[in-house]
A and B are shown apart, each in its own frame.
Chain A
Amino acid sequence: MRPGLADYFNRAHPFRRLKGRLAYLAAALAAVWVAGHAVIGQKELYNPGEVSAPHAFIANNCNACHSEATSSSLLSRVVPDRACETCHAGPVHHANQIFDNQPGGEPKCGSCHREHEGPMFATAFMSSSNCTQCHSSLQQAAVPPARFVTNITSFQRDHPEFRIIREGRKDAATIKRNHKKPLRPDLPGPGGRPTKLECGSCHRVKEDGTAMMPIEFERDCESCHSLAFNERITSPAPHETPDIVEAFVRTAFSKYAGSRSGEWKNDVEWNPPRRLPEFRRMVDEAPRDLPEWLEIRVRDSSQLLFQKKCVECHEVEDRKATMPVIVKPEIPQRWLTHSRFAHTPHRMLQCTSCHSGAPESAQTMQVLLPDRATCLQCHNGSAGAPSNCVTCHAYHDKTIPTPRAGSLTPGRAIGNN
């Protein structure tokens, strides 16, 4: 055996030595990279992603949320709820909720709201599993009485029919609403001209694109249902309470008579009577002076308004009285009070594709809301329209007022001092 032939076991081959040295070098470089960031206090290295746009102002201030002051232990920098509550009230979901077997208990903010998912990520747009962790087998405290379905796993699978449809509720509004009549194609319009109304002729979406605006007489009704009461007075009566209407009529005629002081004398139609009683009545009713003419005009106009015009839409109590009582319409502003709905995202749809009963509805009591099956045509998990719980429901009770004054200054908010 030649010298040196058998000792190769004891010496690493240059290739192996190179491999080993490169491994140590790579490990050292990785450690130096991390340590370098630690030395200069740069924590951007560990940022798992950009924060959402609403939190962009604290993007460079990790301590705003991950601070020692707000963390539960020395080593942990997990964001506690109180860090979120510096800016967000986060009111409780339901007073009678049970979470984690605790009456009134709540999940941690961070267990539902995700961050560092990029500027376009909506932290409030949560996964349905956050909701169904409770609602698939809901526990509810006995007081106040529980009223929610306890086993919902998704909208398409087992969400109950909307309560108002499920319980067959009627519209209790006192307004005389008839959709069929104004939607007919041969509707006579102002001046007797035929016109065609559409849903949008009377119903308008709020500026925020959510619910419909409440119907306003002046904006939505008056062009057809004018409150004009006499050809002498150009302004129609206001859509107000009877006492204001009566005062308006009286004032209007007073002004009119003031500018035309002699007209009252000509304001009797002296038609040749065929019988004596008729002639006597004409004589009796003819005004003797201006105040009497004024009273007659006010009385006739008020009767026209209260007994004919108001009752077209309103229920009127004691309608023959001098001052009748208009029953409050009580039109509900929102029907699905446990959810939120936005009309604007649905603007590409025909109104009747959801409110299918409207064109044939002739009674106020008929509720014209779509049912769950109508929504499921698109919101079914496969058609593309979202069907997450938060598409329609909000977790936090936003009806609870949020304190306006915060505790931060701009400098403290962005972490400058």
Chain B
Amino acid sequence: MAALATAAVGAASYATQVLLSSSPPSGGSWPGLAYGISGTGMIVFAALLAVRRKFPTMRVGRMQVWMRGHVWLGLLSFPMILFHGGFSLGGPLTTALMVLFTIITLSGIFGLVVQQIVPKLMMEQIPAEVVYEQANVFINGLRLKAAERVESLFPKGRDEADGTPYSIVKEFLEKEIKPFLDDPKRKGLLTSPKNAEIVFTHIRKLVPPEAHGAVEELRQIIEKRRDVARQITLHYVLHAWLLIHVPLSAGMLILVFVHAIMALRYS
């Protein structure tokens, strides 16, 4: 509400100045400078979220408050900068700044929307979410578990396993399960969940009932891997915009600093 009220006040004062003077205030005028300073302050605060994240235990307000400030002040800074520039792009530096700022703002809005949608999707579609940073470790664990479970079928007291359930499941492990665990998107019998069900049903028919438990565990491992793959995809959807938002913000901050110095020097 405060951000909206501030935006409304800023817009009203800008409109008043345009009506009174029949031309927008320049960036170097006192009103223009006020818009520029307040907009830059908001941008800097929004950027400080990255610093705040580096020091999560620092007692400078809750992270949730910082995130809200980042979102609302970041959004509010855009009209302020538009008022500062009088809705014109100016020269090369200011044009570059406005282009960067527009992309940053749009990517931020995209991120905001995505973060309202994707976590709900994850809750619904991925019942057992893993810590994203731990995903590779978790997948390695699935590989180990699958191999151990297949080895448990090796017939005791025999040197050769040809023709036993072990040999069937082992071949299935090597040809389908391991490649799937490495890359679930690769074309194979297990790529499609429907195909996977048919394949596992067929495997169960090939092995005696005492091996069904192991086959079922392998099926669960495949489904977990599928969930992790889905989670990784959603995670990228959820965070890929940051690959634009954050680097461009860093570049823009450098240019904002240069612009402020040079503008104050020349005007």
Binding site for B on A (CB under 8 A): 2, 4-5, 8-9, 13, 15, 18-19, 22-27, 29-31, 34, 44-49, 66, 75-78, 110, 114, 116-117, 127-129, 154, 381, 386, 388
Q: Are B247 and A78 in contact (CB under 8 A)?
A: no
Residues of B within 8 A of A4 (CB): 137, 140
Q: Are B250 and A49 in contact (CB under 8 A)?
A: no
Q: How far is the CA of A114 from the CA of B29 in the complex (A)?
A: 10
Residues of B within 8 A of A29 (CB): 251
Contacts A5-B141, A45-B91 given; indicate if A13 touches B132 (C-beta within 8 A).
yes
Contacts A30-B252, A31-B254 given; indicate if A44 touches B92 (C-beta within 8 A).
yes
Q: Are A45 and B93 in contact (CB under 8 A)?
A: yes
A261 to chain B minimum Cβ distance, whole angstroms, is 77
Interface residue from A8, A13, A46 paired with B262 (Cβ < 8 Å) = A46
Interface size band for B = 35 or more
Q: Mark B228-248, 1 if CB is under 8 A from A, else 0.
A: 000000001001001100111
Q: Are A22 and B246 in contact (CB under 8 A)?
A: yes
Q: How far is the CA of A8 from the CA of B247 in the complex (A)?
A: 24
Residues of B within 8 A of A46 (CB): 91, 93, 259, 262-263, 266
Q: Are B266 and A5 in contact (CB under 8 A)?
A: no
Q: How far is the CA of A293 from the CA of B41 in the complex (A)?
A: 101
Q: Which residue of B lies closest to A75 (CB)?
A: B265
Q: Which of B16-24, B65-73, B150-158 lies at the interface with chain A?
A: B16-24
Q: Are B250 and A15 in contact (CB under 8 A)?
A: no
Q: Are B254 and A27 in contact (CB under 8 A)?
A: yes
Q: How far is the CA of A197 from the CA of B258 in the complex (A)?
A: 68
Enumerate 17 A-B pairs (CB-CB under 8 Å) in ascending A order: A4-B140, A5-B137, A19-B242, A26-B250, A26-B251, A30-B254, A31-B254, A34-B254, A44-B92, A45-B93, A46-B93, A48-B91, A48-B94, A49-B88, A116-B91, A127-B20, A128-B22
Contacts A15-B239, A19-B246, A22-B246 given; indicate if A48 touches B90 (C-beta within 8 A).
yes
B134 to chain A minimum Cβ distance, whole angstroms, is 5
Q: Are B22 and A388 in contact (CB under 8 A)?
A: yes
Q: How far is the CA of A77 from the CA of B140 in the complex (A)?
A: 63
Interface residue from B20, B132, B133 paired with A129 (Cβ < 8 Å) = B20
Contacts A2-B137, A19-B246 given; indicate if A48 touches B253 (C-beta within 8 A).
no
Q: How far is the CA of A48 from the CA of B96 in the complex (A)?
A: 12
Q: Is B26 an interface position by the 8 A CB rule?
A: yes
Contacts A15-B239, A27-B254, A31-B254 given; indicate if A22 touches B247 (C-beta within 8 A).
yes
Q: Is B144 an interface position by the 8 A CB rule?
A: yes
Interface residue from B144, B236, B263 paired with A48 (Cβ < 8 Å) = B263
A75 to chain B minimum Cβ distance, whole angstroms, is 6
Closest 9 CB pairs between A and B?
A127-B21, A26-B251, A22-B247, A26-B247, A30-B254, A30-B251, A23-B250, A47-B91, A27-B250
**13 other contacts beyond A27-B250, A127-B21, A129-B21, with CB at 8 A cut-off?**
A2-B137, A2-B141, A19-B247, A22-B243, A26-B247, A27-B247, A27-B254, A30-B251, A30-B254, A47-B91, A49-B90, A128-B20, A129-B20
Q: Is B255 an interface position by the 8 A CB rule?
A: yes
The residue among A75, A127, A386 with the most chain B CB atoms within 10 A of its own CB is A127
Residues of B within 8 A of A154 (CB): 20
Q: Are B20 and A25 in contact (CB under 8 A)?
A: no
Q: Are B266 and A77 in contact (CB under 8 A)?
A: yes
Residues of B within 8 A of A13 (CB): 132-133
Q: Are B134 and A8 in contact (CB under 8 A)?
A: yes
Residues of A within 8 A of B239 (CB): 15
Residues of A within 8 A of B20 (CB): 127-129, 154
Residues of A within 8 A of B254 (CB): 27, 30-31, 34
Q: Is B64 an interface position by the 8 A CB rule?
A: no
Residues of B within 8 A of A34 (CB): 93, 254-255, 258
Residues of B within 8 A of A15 (CB): 236, 239
Q: How far is the CA of A282 from the CA of B267 in the complex (A)?
A: 92
Q: Which residue of B lies closest to A76 (CB)?
A: B265
Residues of A within 8 A of B133 (CB): 8-9, 13
Residues of A within 8 A of B134 (CB): 5, 8
Residues of A within 8 A of B144 (CB): 2
B36 to chain A minimum Cβ distance, whole angstroms, is 12
Q: Are B248 and A386 in contact (CB under 8 A)?
A: no
Q: How far is the CA of A51 from the CA of B248 in the complex (A)?
A: 30
Residues of A within 8 A of B26 (CB): 114, 117
Q: Is B131 an interface position by the 8 A CB rule?
A: yes
Q: Are B22 and A44 in contact (CB under 8 A)?
A: no
Q: How far is the CA of A25 from the CA of B250 in the complex (A)?
A: 9
Residues of A within 8 A of B88 (CB): 49
Q: Which residue of B lies closest to A4 (CB)?
A: B137
Q: Is B108 an interface position by the 8 A CB rule?
A: no
The residue among B17, B23, B88, B248 with the most chain A CB atoms within 10 A of its own CB is B23
Residues from 82 to 105 in B contacting A, C-beta threshold 8 Å: 88, 90-94
Q: How far is the CA of A201 from the CA of B265 in the complex (A)?
A: 59
Q: How far is the CA of A23 from the CA of B17 in the complex (A)?
A: 38
A3 to chain B minimum Cβ distance, whole angstroms, is 9
Q: Which residue of B lies closest to A153 (CB)?
A: B20
The residue among B88, B132, B254, B262 with the most chain A CB atoms within 10 A of its own CB is B254
Q: Is B27 an interface position by the 8 A CB rule?
A: yes
Q: Which residue of B lies closest to A154 (CB)?
A: B20
Q: Are B246 and A66 in contact (CB under 8 A)?
A: no
